[in-house]
Amino acid sequence: MNLTQKERMLLEDQKSHEQVCIKQYQDYANRAKDPKLKQLFNTYSTQEQQHLDTINQLLNGQIPQMQNEQGQQQTEQSGQPSNIQNSQGTQNYDQEDAILCEHMLMTEKYVSSGYNTTIFEFRDPNIRQVLNHIQKEEQEHGQGIFDYMQQHGMYNPK
């Protein structure tokens, strides 16, 4: 596989984004008060490391095989509603946890957007498929954080 200068530059950008995500998720998992949020952040940190490994493989000229299990596993852990209901809009959460979630949701939006641009700039459809898989998982991370926030009364889209 022969990457163009632009493709290599875009992968290097995504690599740095993945490194930031790993560091943030690890840090935020240590700072989170809710054990479920700690678990969610730790799960996402592990998946971000897998993304970084994939980007490094691409930069080294290898097209990795994508596993469907990763997305299914992530959905099972974040997609389930919790038993906490907050229909009155009262705060039943730690303020620091809410700030951590807001930061990570914003980060996931940015990273997913970066993948969108990167995907369109690649000539090789196999690489596009790999990047699309990563972007889908980034979107699932955002959904998991959004769902957590909504379930705990941290975020109420109107």
Question: pLDDT tens digits for 49-91?
Answer: 999 999 999 999 999 887 654 444 333 344 443 333 444 445 6
Residue 78: the pLDDT is: 42
Count of CA atoms in the C-beta half-sphere (13 A) of 69: 3
Residue 68 placed within a domain: no
* CATH number for the domain that contains residue 136: 1.20.1260.10
Least Cα distance to 75 among 158, 156, 153, 143 occurs for: 143
* Dist. CA 64–CA 9, nearest whole Å: 19
Query: Which of residues 65 and 19 earns the better pLDDT score?
Result: 19
Q: Is the pLDDT of residue 106 over 60?
A: yes
Residue-wise burial string across 16-30, b where 16 or more C-beta atoms lie within 10 A, e elsewhere: ebbeebbebbbebbe
* Dist. CA 94–CA 142, nearest whole Å: 20
Helix (H) or strand (E) holding 77, with range, is helix 69-78
Query: Domain containing 22: what range?
Result: 5-59+92-151
| Summary mean pLDDT of the chain | 87
pLDDT confidence band for 157 (50 / 70 / 90): confident
| pTM assigned to the model | 0.83
pLDDT confidence band for 34 (50 / 70 / 90): very high
Q: What is the SS3 assignment for 20?
A: helix
pLDDT confidence band for 37 (50 / 70 / 90): very high
Count of CA atoms in the C-beta half-sphere (13 A) of 14: 33
Residue 65: the pLDDT is: 81
**Residues contacting residue 155 through CB under 8 Å, at least 6 positions apart:** 101, 146, 149
Residue 67: the pLDDT is: 65
Tokens of 93: 């959460």
Residue 68: the pLDDT is: 56
* Dist. CA 45–CA 18, nearest whole Å: 9
Residue 134: the pLDDT is: 97
Number of domains in the chain: 1
Q: Is the pLDDT of residue 26 over 60?
A: yes
Residue 108 placed within a domain: yes
Q: Cβ(93)–Cβ(34) under 8 Å?
A: yes
Residue 126: the pLDDT is: 95
Query: Which of residues 6 and 82 earns the better pLDDT score?
Result: 6
